Amino acid sequence: MIQSSTLQFLKDLRKNNNKSWFDANRKRYDQAKEDFISQVEKIIAGIGQFDTPVAALKAKDCMFRINRDVRFSKDKSPYKVNIAAYFNRNGKKAAGAGYYMHIEPGNSFVGGGIWMPEPKELGQIRQEIDYNFDAWKKIMNNAAFKKAFPKSVEGEALTRPPKGYDDSNPAIEYIKKKSFVVMHQFTDKEVLDKAFIKNVLQVFKAMKPLVDFINAGTE
């Protein structure tokens, strides 16, 4: 479970997103960070039970900095109002599919898959879905998967089929996608519940066949 003080810090940061306030509340941030590190370590160990390579990761391999990169953004707020981690067997900056956890008051979720892959990788995923559509449908229709991700695979899609495909392809609605991600929302109450980590891991376990399918097609 995430500590209530961590969510409260993020709520207050949203209202006071400036360096002077952050510096004055540095101790609160450090406590929130330590809380999140503790949860990330539990998630790593839990994923490692069903996706063995992830077990070798350290929390620092997965966690994102709270500082925003404002160089190319109109929004110059210096800090993110969430804390997040990405669990990929090769680290958070690696290519391929993985598992993502995002903690933000009123907008916490876990998700996974692959977001906006490079053209070569995207082409490989589309080809894998086309060639192995029965296996893809089996993942999409799995009861645990459907329960965890009622919206199925999300992400922006083309309006017309990509080159080499046509509307008659039974997999075309998936092939037209530019991203292959799934999401499961958690309320603040659920984030603070003692069963939170267990529930996150249950969602990630339901996601693993999708992660494996994408990674098999791009390796």
Look up residue 79 and give its amino acid. Y
Say how many domains are in the chain.
Answer: 1
* Residue 38 host element (H or E): helix 26-47
Query: What pLDDT does residue 72 have?
Result: 79
Let me know if residue 72 belongs to a domain.
no
**Cβ neighbours of residue 107 under 8 Å, at least 6 residues apart?**
82
Q: In this predicted model, what pLDDT tens digit does every residue of 21-79 receive, in sequence order?
A: 999 999 999 999 999 999 999 999 999 999 999 999 999 999 999 999 878 778 889 99
Let me know if residue 160 belongs to a domain.
yes
Let me know if residue 96 belongs to a domain.
yes
Let me know if residue 154 belongs to a domain.
yes
**Cβ neighbours of residue 100 under 8 Å, at least 6 residues apart?**
84, 85, 86, 87, 110, 111, 112
Q: In this predicted model, what pLDDT tens digit does every residue of 91-126 receive, in sequence order?
A: 777 778 999 999 999 999 999 999 999 999 999 999
Let me know if residue 170 belongs to a domain.
yes
Let me know if residue 71 belongs to a domain.
no
Q: In this predicted model, what pLDDT tens digit does every residue of 135-155 receive, in sequence order?
A: 999 999 999 999 999 989 998
Instruction: Name the band, by pLDDT with cuts 50, 70 and 90, for residue 89.
Output: confident
Pull the structure tokens for residue 92: 């958070």
Q: In this predicted model, what pLDDT tens digit does every residue of 31-43 receive, in sequence order?
A: 999 999 999 999 9
Pull the structure tokens for residue 180: 């292959």
Let me know if residue 29 belongs to a domain.
yes
- % of the chain surpassing 70 pLDDT: 100
Residue 108, classed as helix, strand or coil, is strand
Cα–Cα nearest to 108, from 36, 19, 25:
36
pTM over cut 0.85: yes
Q: In this predicted model, what pLDDT tens digit does every residue of 155-179 receive, in sequence order?
A: 899 999 999 999 999 999 999 999 9
Let me know if residue 108 belongs to a domain.
yes
- Angstrom CA distances, 140 to 88, 119, 194, stand at 21, 24, 29
Pull the structure tokens for residue 51: 């996706």
Q: What is the CATH number of the domain that holds 202?
A: 3.30.930
As a whole number of angstroms, the distance between CA 180 and CA 178 comes to: 7
Query: What pLDDT does residue 219 have?
Result: 72
Domain residue limits at 157: 4-66+77-218
